[in-house]
Amino acid sequence: MADLSSNFLGIKSPNPFWLASAPPTDKEVNVIRALEAGWGGVVWKTVGEDPPVVNVHGPRYAALLGTDRRVIGFNNIELISDRPLGANLAEMARVKQRFPDRAIIASVMVPCTEQAWKNILPQVEDTGCDGIELNFGCPHGMSERGMGSAVGQVPEYIQMVTEWCKQYSRLPIIVKLTPNITDIRMPARAAKAGGADAVSLINTINSIMSVDLEKMAIYPNTAGAGSHGGYCGYAVKPIALNMVAEIARDPETAGLPISGIGGITTWRDAAEFMTLGAGTVQVCTAAMVYGFKIIEDLCDGLSNFMDSKGYQNLDQLVGKAVPTVKNWNQLNLNYAEKAVINQDLCIKCGRCHIVCEDTSHQAIFATKNGERHFEINEAECVGCNLCVSVCPVADCITMRTLQAGEIDQRTGHQVTGEYANWTTHPNNPGASCS
C-alpha cells in the first residue's frame, strides 16, 4: 500500500492533507475533531495582535451553486481570528501536545512593522507548533488595514517581512500568497529572496458572490451593504493549479517547496496539485461543505490511485507533471487531433453539433441518411475539444491523434510527425531559423 506520510520542510504528518487556515481551524474543539477524523495537520486560523478583530454579526459566507445545489464556489468576509491571542496560543500548545504526530502550523498576521513581528513570533514558537505561515493573502477587511493581501501584492514587503521572520524565529516559514496579482512568480520570488522555506497558495480571490435582485443589494450583505469577499472552493482550482505550476517551473523558484491550496475537493484534485509541484495540500471549502469525514475518502482515493500506478510514496508523485507545463510557443504546431464520436455511447442530444455549428467550426453533422445522427466532419474539425467538453456522456467523444503520414482532411497537409513550434513558424514575423 502506498505510503501517504509527508515530510514537508521537516514537518512530518501521516498524510499530506492539512486543513487550511480558516474557520475549520479557529478553535481547539474544531481542530481536535479534525485531527481525530484523521487530518494530517492543520494550519491554525490566523492569529493577530490583541485586542482581537471583530467580525460582522451576520452573513460571512455565500455560495455559488451548481446543479442540485452543489456548492461550486464559495466566498467569505470573515477576518482573522476574533479571539484573544493568548487563548489561541494556549489551545495550539495543548493540541500539539496531544497530537505530536500531526503538523500544527500557526498562521500569523500582524502589522507591517519589524517590532510587531518580533513581538509575536517567540510567543507563537513557544506553543511547540511546527511552523509558521505568513498570511499575506487575505483579500478582504485586513487588507484595508495594510495587512494580508496588501502585503502580498508588494513583493518588496513580502521579502522584508519574510526576512524579519527568519531573523526572529527558528521555525520553518511558509509564505501564503495572494492570487490577486498579475504574475504570481513575482511574490514567490520575493518570498524566496526573503528566505522563505516554502510558499502556500492560493489564498482567496476578490469576489462579489451575487446581487439580491429583490433587495437590489449585493449578497451577502450586512444591514443592506456588502463588501467584496474572498472566493474559493472548487471553481478556483484551475486558477490555483496554474499558479502552483508557474512557481514550480520558474527557474528562479524551482525547487521551492509549495503547499497547494485552492478548491481541493477530492483525492483527484489533491493528486493534480501534487503532480504540479505541491508537497502538501490544504483543504478548507470541501470540509466546510461536507464536514471532516472527507479525509477518509481523500486518503483512500489517493492511496488506491498511487497503488494502481505503482507510486510508493508522495515524493514519486510530487512535481511529476511539471515538465509538461510550457509556454505556448513551445507547443508542437505539427501535431493534430480530430474528435471521434462513439456511436454506441451517443445518446443523440445534439449538444456537440449545435455548439460546434453556432460557436466553432461547423464540424459535426447532425443527420445521416435523413436520420438524427451526430458524426465528425474531419474536413472541418480543428480538434478544439469543445464537443468533448460539452458532451453529457463520459468518454462518448474522444480525441484521436493523427498519425505521421496521415493526411489532415482539413488542411490537406500530411502529418510529418516532426516537432515544430511557433518560434520557427513561417507566419511568425520574429521566427528564428531552426
Partner 1 sequence: MLASLQNGICSERLALSAYQENFADAHPPLTATQAQIEAERCYYCYAAPCQTACPTGIDIPSFIARIAQGNPRGAAAKILEENVLGGMCARVCPTEVLCEQACVRNTNEDKPVEIGLLQRFATDDFFANPQPPLFIRAADTGKKIAVVGSGPAGLSCAHRLACLGHQVTIFEARAKLGGLNEYGLAAYKTPNNFAQQEIEWLLSIGGIAVKTNTRLGQDIFFTDLVSTYDAVFLGLGLSGVNALGISEPETLGLRNAVEFISDLRQAEDLSQLPVGRKVVVIGGGMTAIDAAVQSRKLGAEEVTIVYRRGQEGMSASDYEQEWAKNNGVTIRHWAAPLELLTSEDGQLTGIRFAYTQLEEGRLKQLSESFELAADMVLRAIGQNFDSNHGVEGLAMQSGKILTDENGKTNVAKVWAGGDCRFGGKDLTVEGVQHGKLSALDIHRSLSQAA
Out of 392, 412, 429, 430, point to the residue binding partner 1 (CB under 8 A): 392
Residue among 190, 291, 197, 187 at smallest CA distance from 243: 187
Confirm whether 433 is a catalytic residue: no
DSSP string, 196-211: -SEEEE---EEE--EE
Min dist. Cβ of residue 68 to partner 1 (A): 6
Q: Total number of residues binding partner 1 (CB under 8 A)?
A: 13
- Among the listed ranges 53-61, 93-101, 112-120, 343-351, the one in contact with partner 1 (CB under 8 A) is 343-351
CB of 235 to partner 1, least distance (A): 18
Q: Does 395 bind partner 1 (CB under 8 A)?
A: no
> Which residue stretch of 253-261, 268-276, 341-349, 376-384 sits at the interface with partner 1 (rule: CB under 8 A)?
341-349
98 binding partner 1? (CB under 8 A): no
Part of the chain binding partner 1 (CB under 8 A), chosen from 130-138, 141-149, 193-201, 347-355: 347-355
State yes or no: residue 72 binds partner 1 (CB under 8 A): no
Q: Tell me the residue type at 168.
A: Y
What are 265's three cell numbers? Answer: 475537493
Contact positions with partner 1 (CB under 8 A) in 184-203: none
**Residue 182 or 369: which CB sits closer to partner 1?**
369
Tell me the window of 115-123, 239-247, 283-291, 345-353 that interacts with partner 1 (CB under 8 A).
345-353
Of 67, 182, 369, 434, which lies in the binding site for partner 1, with binding defined by CB under 8 A?
67
Cβ pair 28, 95 in contact under 8 A:
yes
Does the footprint of partner 1 cover residue 372 (CB under 8 A)? yes
Q: Which of 351, 361, 400, 410 binds partner 1 (CB under 8 A)?
A: 351
Q: How far is CA 376 from the centre of its chain?
A: 35
Return the residue of 366, 382, 384, 399 that touches partner 1, per CB under 8 A: 366
* Catalytic, out of 129, 138, 356, 387: 138
The reply on whether position 214 binds partner 1 by CB under 8 A is: no
Decide if residue 211 touches partner 1 (CB under 8 A).
Answer: no
| End-to-end Cα spacing for the chain | 48
Burial class from Cβ neighbours inside 10 Å (0-12, 13-18, 19+) for residue 57 reads: exposed
Examine residue 208 and tell whether it contacts partner 1 (CB under 8 A): no
List 90, 254, 379, 393, residue binding partner 1 (CB under 8 A): 393
Stretch that binds partner 1, among 31-39, 131-139, 266-274, 348-356 (CB under 8 A): 348-356
> Where along the sequence are the contacts to partner 1 (CB under 8 A)?
67-68, 347-351, 353-354, 366, 372, 392-393
- The residues that are catalytic are 138
